[in-house]
Amino acid sequence: MLEFLKNKSINTPADYAKIFKEIKLIKHQFTPINIAILSSYTSEILKPYISVELAKKNYFSDIYFAPFNQFEQEILNDNSDLYLQKPNIVIIHNMIEDMYPNLASNFTKYDDEELDLITNQVIDRFRVILKSLRSNSKASIIVINFSMINIDMLDSVYSPTKQRQDQYIHNINQELLLLCNKINGCYSIDYMNIVLNIGLQNWIDRKLYFMARIPFAVKGQIEFSKMIAKTIGTIKNQACKCLVLDLDNTLWGGVIGEDGMSGIQLSEYYPGNVFKNFQRSILNLRNQGVMLAIASKNNFNDAIEVIQKHPDCIIKESDFAAIQINWVDKALNIEKIAKKLNIGLDSIVFFDDNPEERLWVSRKLPQVKVINVPKDPMLYSQSLASCNYFNFLTVTNEDKNRTKMIQESQNREELRDNSKDLNSFLASLNMIVSISFANNKTLERVSQLINKTNQFNLTTKRYSVVEVADLIESGSIVLYLSVEDCFGNHGISGVSIIKQRNENEWVIDTFLLSCRIIGKRIESVFLAEIINIVKNKNAVKLYGQYIESKKNHLTANFYKEHHFVLSDKNNNIWEYNMQKIPEKIHYIKTEVKS
Amino acid sequence: MINFNQLKRIMSDILEVSLDNINEDSSPDNIEQWDSLSHIKLVMAIEAEFEVKLSPEDMTDMLSVKLIKIILEQKIS
């Protein structure tokens, strides 16, 4: 960082404007970088913030702001100003409420299937522009994800809607991330996370929003710009490969040479848990590919004994790629580590609680990145997380489970690409369909499906939770189905209600599947089990009805395809000959739970 | 009383004009850079610097340095 930017407090818009002015006068001292920002709002207001934050990383940025809400025109036209500017970095920031205003103002009117359609449309728009951008330019692409919809007219809406909306934004962000991961040199910034960190209530400045459609207040503008600069810094920088750690008062509290094994702080309880937690953070880095090394002034045997034998020392000797525990100068030790690991000094990060050691190392080896370690060990993990030296752009902020889900659905798509024959694809999924009788615990979800499913729904009859309970009470069979395949569990995703007409005649009153699972012959398996279940109840006749709706054409021939015979043309009622044995789908395992 | 020099400095930094060119009569009419976007930037900067909250009406009334001064003095007193 240039000397004049160090130790300067830059917090307010006026501070940024002032520093921005100064930077422009000495721009030749920085590495130039061309940035283009395409957004659905007036993003020019970010210019001083992004410029100053990048200057702190020694970049002078020339930023092109495309006219707002013109991202498609700019990207798809290969003669646009965007490409004339020859950007190194292209940032795309669209508000979901700008792309689909109704999502904010009229969310309740959409059912889940329509929301899925909107997701597909949004993602398709992104897919088209990202592919076009990728083929027209070599720039790194940064896609900003969506945040909670932040106009407060929603506050008055009852909270399940808000939750549903939040969940929806999560889902669409997940799809966006999946897409970004497929495009070379495309990174995503978790904008939603920044919003949540600052808080939705503080995020928006109503005056700015309503008068200028600026979606965030000053604080948010600054935080967002910092995130952009950080991401650009990481894209441009060769990420560091190795973290060199001190031991005493770093990996544990206290000094092993003085306090001994039982005296040092390292446990599940305060203050030892602070250090154990820091060890976890370090192990996380290791799991993400960062090499670990030790440079410590200690008696080798004392120190190594802690790592080998202390029950709460969760970092093991084998986690370290290089260990230098001796009384030699740390700069020399770091040079040895670099040599052993065959990496440059510039890809080493040094973490030591002792400010003198830090100063010494940064003087002797200026290429080494020295972390300005806070005095309070509770802040160690944070200082490591925010140091920007390691590249985690490919590992997102999403929690582990989510990453797993993404992998699952990626795998699923890859499989589809690879399988020419649908049956062999379906067989490779190893589907297990469980059919169960609805009970109190599942009524809620069952009724939800009954009320929201439109496409694969033969009668589109709607029943509340209470009505479903009454049906069960009065002897109807209410079944639900859940599906698991090699990638994960889809949960409850099908419902059928079979009513008894008289002694030995039954009618399929409701038969529906969630659209996520159709097209896999699961419906055939479900129907076959229904036939078996009523057969066991001594049914002689089973009827099924199709009631046409605007959306359920998909199922018009369902009974016909499953060997039912039309028995009442006016009411579209079909009859099944109970002597027949339903077709078995060999690649789907079925289990019926009582 | 607000610090008039502070206000002038902010205006000069945000509008990117020299300090000498800012006086009580400066307005969007005689400072080319003072367009609607800069106006919003000014409002954000003034709010942070003087720790005041400006209303949409204030924003539309801030048509010259003199008027900004008057509005701020009302807020601060």
Residues of chain B below pLDDT 50: none
Q: Under CATH, to which class is A3-236 assigned?
A: alpha beta
Q: Where are the domains of chain B?
A: 4-76
Question: What single string gives the DSSP state of each residue in A164-182?
Answer: HHHHHHHHHHHHHHHHHHH
Tell me the ipTM for this assembly.
Answer: 0.88
Closest to A211 (Cβ–Cβ): which among B9, B14, B59?
Answer: B59
Placement of tokens 């009513």 in the chain: A499
**Amino acid of residue A578:** M
DSSP-based three-state secondary structure for A151:
coil
Best residue in B14, B19, B35, B52 to probe A by mutation, most A CBs within 10 Å? Answer: B14
pLDDT digits (tens, 9 = 90+) for A429-455: 789 999 999 988 888 889 888 987 888
CA distance A240 to A345: 9
Mean pLDDT of chain A, nearest integer: 86
Alpha-carbon radius of gyration of chain A: 31
Closest to A12 (Cβ–Cβ): which among B48, B55, B59?
Answer: B48
**Amino acid of residue A335:** E
- Residues A393, A234: contact at Cβ < 8 Å? yes
A17/chain B closest Cα distance in angstroms: 5
Among candidates A176, A164, A179, which has minimal Cα distance to A114? A164
pLDDT digits (tens, 9 = 90+) for A479-522: 999 998 876 777 888 999 999 998 889 999 999 998 767 778 89
DSSP-based three-state secondary structure for A525:
helix
CA distance A97 to A215: 10
What is the reported pLDDT for A109?
83
Question: Residue A288 above 80 pLDDT?
Answer: no
Question: Residue A475 above 80 pLDDT?
Answer: yes
A306 Cβ neighbours under 8 A, 6+ residues apart: A247, A252, A256, A261, A264, A266, A313
CA distance A61 to A231: 14
CA distance A209 to A213: 4
Say yes or no for a CB contact (<8 Å) between B45 and A13: yes
Range list of β-strands (E), A59-203: 59-65, 89-93, 140-144, 186-189
What is the reported pLDDT for A164?
83
Half-sphere exposure at residue A148, Cβ-oriented, CA atoms within 13 angstroms: 23
Question: Residue A6 above 80 pLDDT?
Answer: no
User: What's the CATH number of domain A429-593, 3.40.630.30, 2.40.10.10, 3.30.360.10, 3.30.70.2860?
Assistant: 3.40.630.30
**What percent of chain B is helix, strand and coil (3-state, nearest 5)?**
60, 0, 40
Q: How far is CA A340 from the centre of its chain?
A: 37
CB-neighbour burial class of residue A168 (10 A; exposed 0-12, middle 13-18, buried 19+): buried
CA distance A279 to A176: 33
Sign of torsion, CA B66 B70 B71 B72?
Answer: positive
CA distance B59 to B68: 9
Question: Residue A156 above 60 pLDDT?
Answer: no
Fold that domain B4-76 belongs to in CATH: 1.10.1200
pLDDT digits (tens, 9 = 90+) for A38-80: 998 889 999 999 999 999 988 999 999 998 778 888 898 888 8
- Residues A149, A115: contact at Cβ < 8 Å? no
pLDDT digits (tens, 9 = 90+) for A408-435: 544 555 555 444 456 776 787 789 999 9
Tell me how crowded residue A12 is: count the other CB atoms within 10 A of its CB. 18
Say yes or no for a CB contact (<8 Å) between B45 and A14: yes
CB-neighbour burial class of residue A231 (10 A; exposed 0-12, middle 13-18, buried 19+): buried
A213 Cβ neighbours under 8 A, 6+ residues apart: A41, A42
Say yes or no for a CB contact (<8 Å) between B9 and A14: yes
Residues of A in contact with B44 (CB under 8 A): 13, 45, 208, 218
Q: Which residue of A has its CA nearest to B60?
A: A211
CA distance A194 to A324: 39
B19 to chain A, any CB pair closer than 8 A? The answer is no
Say yes or no for a CB contact (<8 Å) between A14 and B37: no
User: Residue A287 — pLDDT band, cuts 50, 70, 90?
Assistant: confident
The model's pTM is 0.58
Q: Where are the domains of chain A?
A: 3-236, 242-385, 429-593
B10 to chain A, any CB pair closer than 8 A? The answer is yes
**What percent of chain A is helix, strand and coil (3-state, nearest 5)?**
50, 20, 30
Fold that domain A242-385 belongs to in CATH: Rossmann fold (3.40.50)
Question: Residue A147 above 50 pLDDT?
Answer: yes
